[in-house]
Structure 1
């Protein structure tokens, strides 16, 4: 570990596309230290990185590109967690705005199909079926997490570590190497969500 890296501290990518308050409030409750990341040198200070995000994936990607951090994020070898739109940014492409994203995980973000008789956006609590992954240590089986999204990550068993059925089966959480993503909002998901954030901070 770099001598300038703080043990078990989280750097939150500050690119103007995340609901920072809810996330930082959860980290405060858990007494997990964090700081905002604005520059490449800030990335090096922390043992863990979170990419938050709400709203439009294409617009979020444009904002992330404006920070100049894209290549540095893709090169990270420390644990990285994308939340909601932050998870979608890890994928290759989004139908929202026909946007190319980070291409870290070679899967796509797609729009829910209303013809399946579902309401869009998918909003509220839903049961999550997760695999035996450290991100879900000590989380009760079939725990519920809170979702708010109109676009979903296509299910791919290679990268899927948790899934939900809403109209069709989609990935609620993914992993590729040190990059993790969750479509739900752990910071709004009560005890299960706080356990997940704690698990991530201890990786």
Structure 2
């Protein structure tokens, strides 16, 4: 699970280029190396300042060859959780799941239940987008002010893991400038949804986190 705090309403408008990230590449014990392993979570103000963008990346360190055969797990739900009241309990969720070459999105709406277990939202009409094939132009679907994307992307995260290991091991005192990007040339599978702030509500701080949940 990746968790961040961002600001809505007037506060966010005053912060140019606002951006938040949580990262954790292939080291969650229960999902390490699996198709539902979350590598990164990004939340930021959209190019349209009235919108928020949520990005979940899974399946890190995909080589170009591996990316060509990579696919979203149809038994996994990607769930973006949004807490608008500051109690660290999700008030709204956006759920995404793959099926037959498409990614289906439900919400934002109040969850059927809170906590670690989830069921798909009921009483809402899902949106969908064709999953972009590796090497193809990005396919983006739009509806009711929202935008949707799912497919492989170059891993945007930068980290010099070798130098980090040297620092931890006591053989180096700091990072190099420039460093060496461990993730250069590798890809991830991305799920992206952009929503109007009016669908989120609130005028102050929200907490947001993402989870991947396998069908039981």
TM-score by length of 2: 0.28
Structure with the greater alpha carbon radius of gyration: 2
Which has the larger share of helix?
1
TM-score by length of 1: 0.29
Which has the larger share of strand?
2
